[in-house]
Amino acid sequence: MNESLAKTKSSVQVVEIKEDQDGQRLDNFLLRALGDIPKSMIYRIIRKGEVRVNKGRIKPNHRLKTGDFVRIPPVRHDTESSEVKLPQSLLGEVGRQILFENNDYMVVNKPSGLAVHGGSGLRFGLIDVIRAIRPQHEYLELVHRLDRETSGCLLFAKNRQALIFMHEQFKQNQVIKKYLAGIEGEWKSGTKTISAPLIKNATQGGERIVEVNDKGKEAISHFKLVQQFNRLSLIEVELQTGRTHQIRVHAAHEGHPVAGDKKYGNKNYNQWIKEKGLKRLFLHSHWLEFYLPGDNERTQINTPLPDELQVVLSNLESCNK
């Protein structure tokens, strides 16, 4: 039985786990099966025992196995309010930004401003858009993530085996990820490796921030100057680790925050660069390199800076003339 049937039925559903769903966490499985349901409700129905795996109670982080039977209880849907209608213009825009696709993977040039997942007040994310573009694929999952305001190469897996294969490459540091970032001021260090551990903290207002802290997790970024502009340096950053907000925090730690960064940046500088045409975070994932299953040659995907960032550089160049 297709897990999507659970979205359209009001009665109890029993779904058999397929081979390409093997190893998936129960909570993640239910989030996809039930569609536009808050995470809090997912955890509540698991905690109350309304969700069963092979007729037994189970924890949210339980890994499902091929052949397992998952009992999904009826969940009240207000179809008018819960059904998310994706803008056709957005579907078309994202559809034109598919950089690579085969039977196992898809690489999309993610636009800035679109989160990879819905939630926290967002009705939908890029994953919902991709699934709408490719409705014939029962399985489409993110291999990694990008911040909402970051644009560029984002990798999706079309089956469970492909996801596991690529995750293993990430663990072995075999995936090369390079970003282009516009940072405040003049970068005088040329090529520099920044090794500064990062830890997640919460501010008084509940906003999550990341800080450099010796008690944090290892975080290594390789910075290289590409071109110098008036009060802005264009740098390429290759990530050796992939911590949350890593480039943004490392750049700020070096005294050169990413232009347009409202969380870690300089308010006065952001106002100045906004007048030069910057309307977003100046961070773009321009290079992704990895092995495909059964292929000894590395696949390289790259995409240039989007037009809205190129315009800013052109405006800064004109300031020097």
Backbone angles phi, psi at 213, to 5 degrees: -155, 135
Q: Three-state SS for 70?
A: strand
Domains of the chain by residue range: 3-74, 86-163, 174-319
Q: Three-state SS for 188?
A: coil
C-alpha 277/C-alpha 318 separation (Å) is: 13
Structure-derived torsion over alpha carbons of residues 84, 245, 183, 218, reported in degrees to the nearest 10? -160
Q: Tell me if the domain spanning 3-74 has CATH number 3.10.290.10.
A: yes
Report helix angle 126-133 to 88-95, nearest 10: 80
Quick check: do 86-163 and 174-319 share a fold?
yes
What is the CATH topology of the domain spanning 86-163? Pseudouridine synthase (3.30.2350)
Cα torsion 298, 180, 262, 193: sign: positive
- Tens digits of pLDDT across the chain (321 residues): 444 444 444 578 899 999 888 888 998 889 888 876 777 778 878 888 889 999 898 888 899 999 999 999 887 654 434 456 788 898 999 999 999 999 999 999 999 999 887 765 567 789 889 988 988 887 889 999 999 999 999 999 999 899 999 999 999 999 999 999 999 999 999 999 999 999 998 676 667 899 999 999 999 999 999 999 999 999 999 999 999 999 999 999 999 999 999 999 999 999 999 999 999 999 999 999 999 999 999 999 999 999 999 999 999 988 765
pTM: 0.76
Backbone angles phi, psi at 202, to 5 degrees: -120, 135
CA–CA distances in Å: residue 267 to residues 18, 259, 263, 274, 319 = 51, 10, 9, 10, 21
Catalytic annotation, residues:
147
Structure-derived torsion over alpha carbons of residues 251, 240, 151, 106, reported in degrees to the nearest 10? 180
C-alpha 74/C-alpha 295 separation (Å) is: 45
Measured in whole angstroms, how far is the alpha carbon of residue 283 from the centre of its chain? 13
Name residue 203's amino acid: T
Do 197 and 213 meet the contact criterion of CB atoms below 8 Å apart? yes
Do 69 and 54 meet the contact criterion of CB atoms below 8 Å apart? yes
Q: Tell me if the domain spanning 174-319 has CATH number 1.20.1250.20.
A: no
Q: What is the DSSP string of 284-317?
A: EEEEEEEEPTT-SSEEEEE-PPPHHHHHHHHHHH
The residues with which 154 forms a beta bridge, in sequence order, are: 108
